[in-house]
Structure 1
């Protein structure tokens, strides 16, 4: 129980770093690093029980490949544009740190009940973060859209973090939707899941993140189709008139993707157009540096190609990886996402078909991965701890949970099948069989 509580602390802390952060007094060691060290130390000292159930994780090799690509990017950066090495080292440390939570939680050592509780706690933390965004949205008002009145929940102090918040809520929405759709007999949990869906949906609206609107719609649509095609079609038809019930500020935000200029010609809004300009500059950057410009160098190079956006982020994880770490970095990122998706599909196939809980969580996890991949098309939160830490923890917990389910299922199968009688007993019961085939049923049988 004590270790379970210890494992719950990082899950609570990571998305709420801005609220709970304090200085450790040790240079280069923040509270997140300290928590990680403490949890790992306790698990290592706790004995064999806390070894992972699977010898090698489904995404271990993919993560190691990504880490190698980042390390090569660091070498390129130091070779082509040397700067303060400790700054670059701290940068790559932060990139690598949060995915390591996967390795921690896959060896959590909890039983099925404890693992389920930690997974639910991940979702509770996400819902509480969503409530914070809703409170901000209510404070701002859902009247007309304003760029500076966007909710960011616990992920920032102003509207500049709203997109990251939206991606976080869109990532965890599928887990709630899957539980609401596939929990047939667990009415209490189904009701709680429906409440979670409502919280995540309103929180996403409060961020005014258009990419998060799209991610949420795609995830929900895929789960509805998986549950029942007819149901999905009916809900799709009903949603068309329901759009008019959305706050005006939400529909106004979506409509801003395309605007009309002074002569009535349609053009993209400033936010969308700026991304396309930055991405065009990033492609020119990569064409001149095929191996990448090096880790943490995009902002220092982009001004050479798009001067008006000097010092800007790439606003796409895929563009950023290609520009900084070259094709190897981009391939490593895609391979990791593929392995994550394959891991989720493996979960669905591994759990028994009549286990509604395991099926729902596994299907929800697949859509969490899809949402994560989509959330990095229009932004680059993949290595940001506040957004991604609990995703990596969920990966490890789901692997452990499904491994326990597989063991439980195999144990039930073994218990259901009566053990075959020993050969010696057959020989004793049927002496004639022992005389016909001496030796097959043991020496004692052949003497009958």
Structure 2
């Protein structure tokens, strides 16, 4: 005899919830008994984030923003030549993604993917990454675990972009997320300031003993540009002061990263600001002030870092225009030459991701790993980002200072990162790319958000007009009634009783 169960019954829901809690409790007990304290703690936090994201995706994304720079890394395995490392934000992104997919499945009104101007370029680039790496595995150039892990890491950035564009729909959200980014940046900048007296290259938290100052420089450059873009517009005074304060706070740890790639990149970001902004005189004044300040203060460590590049005359070193470079720069150039020689043997699709030795330089790295097709796919992706963000900047109304300023800052930051990538693997650095793709998602959704705002404003205006028309009509009726009463001798005047 079939058993009919009413799944909508409160009793059934209670039993289901108790069963779920019991299963989770038993699972946690097993995990706690078999692993160290950190693993069950991370699992519990993951469950909490999952539930929070189911209830409110905005909260999950905000937690992710803070974790981008404020989370430790975990070594989950080893492959020849390198540890496989994941960060807490990797896990959070996976958890938030599953929560979003579950929410989408439960709510048929939510779309899993929406169209954006970057979808096609992202799809092509990911496809080339996968094909090149699978080919490299088949030919024996790529260790499968290592290659597939890094392919998934690249896909992770685009997954974040998809999450953001599916969730952004209001100005309030954009302000909330920007606030989270700026607060996080302020925290890590203070952390950087604390490191300066120690005489070490400034780096982000949880980077280990050596640290990654070049990565930190790229991150600070990007957030600096976002703050600068907003500060250049006619935003409320409090917001402008906050952005100015953040810019000053960022400047000191940025200098003491001693990242030459970041120094060069920020010059191009400033040139982008000057080219696109109407406040050219202000920008030129800021640039002059920074240069004069560096000359007057004379931060020895920073100046020595710049001088170090050209302080050697060893014939074994690389030479540019008759000038010998330092050992680090020379090693980088020699590795570039090796990568070009390797690329010549596999010109179309390369040897696959991680199929060549580690080297600094995003563009030159792509050649031996993904070949000329991979390089074209990557450059097309960058061009698509630039073209569409510039189009959105021009499309935004001059009176909409937040959107206009944010887009300007994004473009300047993007140009800076594109220059930074000449000597660093900028577009695969987790702590740079997570903020970048999150903000890219916001930028690409600005036209839609603006359109919805305009529709809402028009609706409010129409409602207001209807209410005013109704009020006028009621007043006219009232006046007509009073007039009729006066004519009949009823209200306020003499009248006869019959």
Q: Place the TM-score, normalised by the shorter chain, in its bin.
A: 0.7 to 0.9
Residue 357 of structure 1 aligns with which residue? 402
State how far apart, in whole Å, the 2-side matches of 1:279 and 1:326 are.
14
- Asked if the contact 1:151–1:159 (Cα under 8 Å) also holds between the matched residues in 2, the reply is no
Residue 227 of structure 2 aligns with which residue? 176
Secondary structure in structure 2 of the residue aligned to 1:211: helix
Matched, 1:212 2:267: no
Matched, 1:253 2:305: yes
Matched, 1:77 2:128: no
Q: Deviations over 1:153-190 (max 9, x none)?
A: 126223451111111111221001112211x2411111
State how far apart, in whole Å, the 2-side matches of 1:238 and 1:200 are.
16
Task: Provide the aligned length of Structure 1 versus Structure 2.
Answer: 393
> Structure 2 residue aligned with 1:242, among 293, 314, 317?
293
Residue 427 of structure 1 aligns with which residue? none
> Structure 1 residue aligned with 2:328, among 254, 271, 276?
271
Secondary structure in structure 2 of the residue aligned to 1:118: helix
Matched, 1:399 2:456: no
> Structure 2 residue aligned with 1:296, among 337, 349, 354?
354
State how far apart, in whole Å, the 2-side matches of 1:48 and 1:405 are.
25
State how far apart, in whole Å, the 2-side matches of 1:157 and 1:29 are.
14
Q: 1:220 to 1:124 in 2, by over 3 A?
A: farther
> Structure 2 residue aligned with 1:370, among 410, 415, 418?
415
> Structure 2 residue aligned with 1:284, among 325, 338, 341?
341
Q: TM-score, normalised by structure 2?
A: 0.72
Matched, 1:153 2:204: yes
Q: TM-score, normalised by structure 1?
A: 0.79
Secondary structure in structure 2 of the residue aligned to 1:294: coil
Q: 1:216 to 1:29 in 2, by over 3 A?
A: closer
Unaligned 5+ segments in structure 2 are 1-54, 77-83, 316-321, 464-498
What is the deviation of 1:73? 1.4
State how far apart, in whole Å, the 2-side matches of 1:368 and 1:237 are.
20
State how far apart, in whole Å, the 2-side matches of 1:128 and 1:29 are.
22
What is the deviation of 1:132? 1.7
Q: 1:384 to 1:179 in 2, by over 3 A?
A: same
Over aligned residue pairs, what C-alpha RMSD do you find? 3.0
- Asked if the contact 1:49–1:109 (Cα under 8 Å) also holds between the matched residues in 2, the reply is no
What is the deviation of 1:84? 4.2
- Asked if the contact 1:152–1:207 (Cα under 8 Å) also holds between the matched residues in 2, the reply is yes
Matched, 1:231 2:282: yes
What is the deviation of 1:30? 6.9
State how far apart, in whole Å, the 2-side matches of 1:91 and 1:240 are.
40
Q: Deviations over 1:7-41 (max 9, x none)?
A: 2111111223327x698xxx999744442233223
- Asked if the contact 2:232–2:279 (Cα under 8 Å) also holds between the matched residues in 1, the reply is no
Unaligned 5+ segments in structure 1 are 141-148, 300-312, 419-448
State how far apart, in whole Å, the 2-side matches of 1:351 and 1:381 are.
29
State how far apart, in whole Å, the 2-side matches of 1:103 and 1:95 are.
13
The structure with more radius of gyration: 2
Matched, 1:379 2:389: no
Residue 87 of structure 1 aligns with which residue? 146
Secondary structure in structure 2 of the residue aligned to 1:367: helix
Q: Deviations over 1:410-446 (max 9, x none)?
A: 544677689xxxxxxxxxxxxxxxxxxxxxxxxxxxx
Residue 187 of structure 2 aligns with which residue? 128
> Structure 1 residue aligned with 2:155, among 96, 99, 112?
96
- Asked if the contact 1:107–1:400 (Cα under 8 Å) also holds between the matched residues in 2, the reply is no
- Range with bigger deviation, 347-356 or 57-66: 347-356
- Asked if the contact 1:151–1:206 (Cα under 8 Å) also holds between the matched residues in 2, the reply is yes
Q: Greater relative contact order (Cα 8 A, min sep 6): structure 1 or 2?
A: 1
Q: Deviations over 1:386-413 (max 9, x none)?
A: 2211211122233334421222135446
- Asked if the contact 1:119–1:397 (Cα under 8 Å) also holds between the matched residues in 2, the reply is no
State how far apart, in whole Å, the 2-side matches of 1:49 and 1:115 are.
22
Secondary structure in structure 2 of the residue aligned to 1:353: coil
